[in-house]
Amino acid sequence: MSTSTSARRTDPGTGPPPPAGAVPVSRSRAAAALCCVAGLVHLLVAREHVEVWALAAFFFITVSAGQLWLAQALWRGLNARLVPAAVLLTSGLVALYVLSRTIGLPIPAAGEVGLSESHHAGPQVPGGQGNGVPVLPGSGAGTAIATVGPLDLVCLVAQLGALALLVGLLPAGQRRSLGNLLLAVGLCGWVVWGLVHFT
């Protein structure tokens, strides 16, 4: 089992090896740092989501808390049995991000604070037929698809890095299974993109 293999691999000069069931320290701490970055970004953006939809802000605060908890757990030496859950949760967040920036989620987009559709997300126009909110070219306003910003990229890169490190911490069998699942999801994304653009 790679768990025991991993347990044998410790940082040089860090003293006695960690207890059985814990993941390697250096990779674990690298993943911790990246999870911490992602958690802080989610905390940072929670505030602007408050203005649009309080539930979204609650979601981001929850995600942030989870990632910061994961970061400290990884830093201290996360039990290897929790690594698959961490991989799946991080993958899920990445998937949600991709959906929100490509086809949109049925929630107001915080990136559009100050733009039309977020202002008018709540009340409907009595008797109005269709959507009366103009979509200015290039603005993305009037749609639920958020645009990619610098914080998005920072958070995404951190999460992808953490994901890779966490996958690397998995036992070979789980790594293969989860790796195949991620591959399937990634391929689906590319296939859908290809269908949309070339058919």
Partner 1 sequence: MPELGCRSREFSQVANAVGGLRLGWTDMLEGETMSLSRRDLMKLGVVGGAALALPLERTVSAGSIAQSRLASSRLPPPFTLPFRVPEPLRPYRTDATTDFYKVYMKPLQAEVIPGLRTPLWGYNGLVPGPTVRVSQGRRTVMRQVNNLPGRHPILNYTPWTSVHLHGSASLPQYDGYASDITNPGQYKDYVYPNTQTARTLWYHDHGLHHTAENVLMGLAAQYQLTDSLEQSLPIPHGDYDVPLLVSDAMFASDGSLFFDNHDESGMYGDVILVNGVPWPTMKVKRRRYRFRILNASVSRSYQWSLDSGDVLTVIATDGGLMPYPQKVQRFRHGAAERYEVIIDFSKMPVGRRVVLRNTSPKNNIDYVNTNKVMAFDVVGDDFDPAANSVPDVLNPTNPTMLLTARDAVRTRRLDMVREHGRWTINGHTWDDVVKSKFSLVEADPREGDVEVWEIRNPSGGWFHPVHIHLIDFRILDRNGRPPMPHELGPKDVVYVGENETVRVVARFEGRGKYMIHCHNLVHEDHDMMTQFVVRADQDVFDPFSDPCKSLPEANDL
**What single-letter amino acid sits at 43?**
L
Q: What are phi and psi of 107, to 5 degrees?
A: -140, 155
Query: With binding defined as CB under 8 A, does residue 77 bind partner 1?
Result: no
**Is there binding between residue 26 and partner 1 (CB under 8 A)?**
yes
Q: Is 187 in the site for partner 1 (CB under 8 A)?
A: yes
Near partner 1 in 122-161, by CB under 8 A: 122-123, 125-138, 140, 142, 145, 147-148, 152-153, 156-157, 160
Question: Interface residues for partner 1 in 34-53 (CB under 8 A)?
Answer: 51
The answer to whether residue 164 forms part of the interface with partner 1 (CB under 8 A) is: yes
Tell me whether residue 188 is exposed, middle or buried, using C-beta atoms within 10 angstroms of its C-beta: 0 to 12, 13 to 18, 19 or more: exposed
Shortest separation between residue 192's beta carbon and partner 1, angstroms: 9
Pick from 94, 109, 155, 162 the residue near partner 1 by CB under 8 A: 94
Q: What is the SS3 assignment for 11? A: coil
Residue 123: CB atoms within 10 Å: 6
Q: What is the DSSP code (8-state) at residue 79?
A: B
Q: Report the alpha-carbon distance of residue 53 to residue 134 in Å, rounded.
A: 21
CB of 121 to partner 1, least distance (A): 9
User: Encoding tokens for residue 58?
Assistant: 């609650």
Binding residues for partner 1, total number by CB under 8 A: 69
- Least Cβ distance, residue 103 to partner 1 (angstroms): 9
Q: Which segment (58-66, 67-75, 77-85, 179-187) binds partner 1 by CB under 8 A?
A: 179-187
What phi, psi does 103 have (nearest 5°)?
Answer: -110, -10
**Minimum Å distance from CB 45 to partner 1?**
14
Encoded amino acid at 161, one letter: G
- How far is it, in rounded angstroms, from Cα 161 to Cα 88? 14
Residue length of the chain: 199
Q: Which residues contact 128 (CB under 8 A, 6 or more apart)?
A: none
Residues that bind partner 1 (CB under 8 A): 2, 5-6, 9, 11-12, 24, 26-27, 30, 51, 91, 94-95, 97-98, 101-102, 113-116, 119-120, 122-123, 125-138, 140, 142, 145, 147-148, 152-153, 156-157, 160, 163-165, 167-169, 172, 175-176, 179-180, 182-183, 185-187, 189-190, 193
